[in-house]
Structure 1
């Protein structure tokens, strides 16, 4: 490839990202699809040295709350920005929210903390979970581009709060913080953001957390992959974050498998978020965009870079990635054909290191969006590495819709998942069922 072609491809990445790959000027106002992102989300030019250090915090008014005798129910919230380290070893600002329960913790331990990693929200900064906690429903329109984002993770967050469990949720790298694109499903970025969120929460003043507060991790779908990655990375990245238990629901552990499964489904837009995130993390992949993407593909990636889930469902449901390429090949075929891309995707595999604590891996046996087989394989691999795994296959009818097959278990298993995690944080043991996984679906 010529030098000019490489330069033009690199410039293409910047336009696809829809953002400047560097810190914005202090106080700069960012508008994404008609939604003004508060200045809080613009990172400073210089970040603290230590991972998990609070950069700033402010009161976060919750869209859904009730007055109570002892305070606002189910609790009060603080918006946070904290320092983390990305997959390239560079400092990065991450935003999120800490939620202090109004109700007491009735367990025998100190009040526990759960780090909640959200499921797929999108790639536009307006899609962040912390912003959704404040606004409930985020809606915007700009230059005929519309956006809609629903804070669905409030269901799990509030269930934890009502049990007296403190929660800190991460927005992930680049989702909220406006200095870069969200590195969707990058296991290192996500795992680090989860672990550093726990550090940041414990650094907040005037909370009920103590040094003895046990820590749990909770996530489904993208969040399931994030907490699974965090459970693997804890020993080397954050040994001071003593994780007791993790709930990893429907984790996208094998991205090549998941890429093939998502292509052509209701959530096909997630393929664009993944590609955008790949190039954000590894700019050397940029020439592949110029080589393989048609005009329609380049337009799709630019469009998706500012979209939330609702937008993508309306705009890209059912599209095949082969319609985005110059040669009609699918994204899966291109991954298999390009060694650099194949190596990058292979490096995202989860299940290669023993996780910390006990992990409950739940996956719908008919989930063909974030495919059941690869999530089950992660549990098997962890067992082979000596991990303590509770594997929970969830049997629901096949709806014929990959999206419904995926999100059904999120709702039906949520109470069981929260209760299981709460019991572990209260000090009750859980027995691994690694010896029987081979006999389960």
Structure 2
């Protein structure tokens, strides 16, 4: 069924994107946990409360709590924990991020230590109640990732899932800020190995996976891995529905049935970049729109912003091009900020002098009936990866945006399993 029909009947929508903006901090060695908890006894409220002061290193486990994940189908026997851990934001500041870790009870028989999938979800919405760790633990709103998680766990892979930056109480999700997302995803793996009573070890292989917003986040984590988390043995990344050029995506979304994704992006980027003009541009409708984004999950946001244009929310009815020309206090324009988000820029193989070195193969895919993200934005990422010499497997599925996420899940699991087993990759470049 076409996603547009799902939106009309039940607002069963889809996902978008995330990237980062400035040069990543370099981490030369594995960060040691300065004060890891001795037991997972945190309250649920504590998991989502940011400390007043954070002194740990990226990936340090701050607190944890045993949990169940009833939304994941199949009754896969597992142990699971909600976690709060240290990460690094786009400005280089230490921040707290939430997520969860799940480890199958079945013994790993694939050789070596059990591998981990670093997982990042597609768009769930910016309200605090939308966090993936809350939804999988039973507070279901409108997440659609449970089947993908089931496949990983049934294959014997552990899952270290990041909610993403901005799901602490009183914050807003920094949607489409890839440095935030990439750092948080890599740090979730680090934290997963510090859980009291957990069984994951430092030598376990790591795969990264996500679709749409999660696909953008996945490829930012792939770009950052060698500089930000060189101690992690990342062996592959699988990313689909990737909005590789946010300007192309914004043009498609503005005034469309899926304009809610653009609203999430505008609010997320402004939250991460307070130096850029934003609040002073808003009219009364714009101020209400920000509150709508901050309070809604996916389908609520899609419903609130369907067919709305960005121009309606600023005092001067600013177009996208006019917004891109605005400068912040550092002298940079919004257009430069958005251009810095383009996925696959500055990448190269591990032996290269590229800014972002990627030393492992990548799986990319999209739907033939994609109706949200321009094909040029998705295909452009594949083209840039091939031009950079990154081994990339490519697949197009006979689905629209949402169903492609599910259609690809078996191949994503297969791709990661092949990487964990050391099998030779396919290169479609």
TM interval, shorter chain, is 0.7 to 0.9
Instruction: Give the CA deviation at 1:74.
Output: 3.6
2:149 is the alignment partner of 1:157: yes
Name the CA distance, whole Å, in 2 between partners of 1:64 and 1:381: 37
* Residues 78-227 of structure 1: pairs in structure 2 closer than 5 A: 78-137=81-140, 149-175=141-167, 177-227=168-218
Name the CA distance, whole Å, in 2 between partners of 1:94 and 1:273: 19
Instruction: Give the CA deviation at 1:412.
Output: 1.4
* Larger helix percent: 1
Q: What is the match of residue 433 of structure 1?
A: 428
Q: What is the match of residue 314 of structure 2?
A: 325
Q: How has the CA–CA distance of structure 1 residues 65 and 302 changed in structure 2, closer, same or farther, with 3 Å as cutoff?
A: closer
Which segment drifts farther, 191-200 or 422-431? 422-431
Q: How has the CA–CA distance of structure 1 residues 246 and 408 changed in structure 2, closer, same or farther, with 3 Å as cutoff?
A: same
2:339 is the alignment partner of 1:346: yes
2:417 is the alignment partner of 1:416: no
Tell me if structure 2 keeps the 8 A contact 1:320–1:330. no
Q: What is the match of residue 334 of structure 1?
A: 323
Q: 1:263-288: per-residue Cα shift (whole Å, max 9, x none)?
A: 223321122221212222111213x4
Instruction: Give the length in aligned residue pairs.
Output: 373
Q: What is the match of residue 290 of structure 1?
A: 280
Name the CA distance, whole Å, in 2 between partners of 1:427 and 1:207: 25
Secondary structure in 1 matching 2:333: helix
Instruction: Give the CA deviation at 1:134.
Output: 1.1
Instruction: Give the CA deviation at 1:331.
Output: 3.2
Instruction: Give the CA deviation at 1:231.
Output: 0.4
Name the CA distance, whole Å, in 2 between partners of 1:363 and 1:75: 31
Instruction: Give the CA deviation at 1:136.
Output: 4.6
Q: What is the match of residue 230 of structure 1?
A: 221
Instruction: Give the CA deviation at 1:362.
Output: 0.7
Q: How has the CA–CA distance of structure 1 residues 332 and 269 changed in structure 2, closer, same or farther, with 3 Å as cutoff?
A: farther
TM-score (norm 2): 0.82
Q: What is the match of residue 16 of structure 2?
A: none
Q: What is the match of residue 383 of structure 1?
A: 386
Instruction: Give the CA deviation at 1:248.
Output: 0.6
Instruction: Give the CA deviation at 1:250.
Output: 0.9
Instruction: Give the CA deviation at 1:75.
Output: 1.4
* Residues 236-247 of structure 1: pairs in structure 2 closer than 5 A: 236-247=227-238
Q: How has the CA–CA distance of structure 1 residues 420 and 299 changed in structure 2, closer, same or farther, with 3 Å as cutoff?
A: same
Unpaired segments of 5 or more residues in structure 1? 1-36, 138-148, 397-404, 435-441
TM-score (norm 1): 0.80
Tell me if structure 2 keeps the 8 A contact 1:122–1:307. yes
Name the CA distance, whole Å, in 1 between partners of 2:373 and 2:213: 9
Name the CA distance, whole Å, in 2 between partners of 1:332 and 1:367: 25
Q: 1:354-378: per-residue Cα shift (whole Å, max 9, x none)?
A: 3341110111233231222112111
Name the CA distance, whole Å, in 2 between partners of 1:235 and 1:66: 34
Instruction: Give the CA deviation at 1:150.
Output: 2.2
Unpaired segments of 5 or more residues in structure 2? 1-43, 349-357
Q: What is the match of residue 278 of structure 1?
A: 269
Name the CA distance, whole Å, in 2 between partners of 1:267 and 1:421: 31
Secondary structure in 2 matching 1:135: coil
Name the CA distance, whole Å, in 1 between partners of 2:392 and 2:374: 19
Tell me if structure 1 keeps the 8 A contact 2:364–2:394. yes
Q: 1:103-140: per-residue Cα shift (whole Å, max 9, x none)?
A: 33332332110011010011111100000011152xxx
Instruction: Give the CA deviation at 1:336.
Output: 5.2
Match of 2:402 among 399, 402, 407: 407
2:303 is the alignment partner of 1:314: yes
Q: What is the match of residue 62 of structure 1?
A: 69
Tell me if structure 1 keeps the 8 A contact 2:325–2:333. no
Tell me if structure 1 keeps the 8 A contact 2:114–2:200. yes
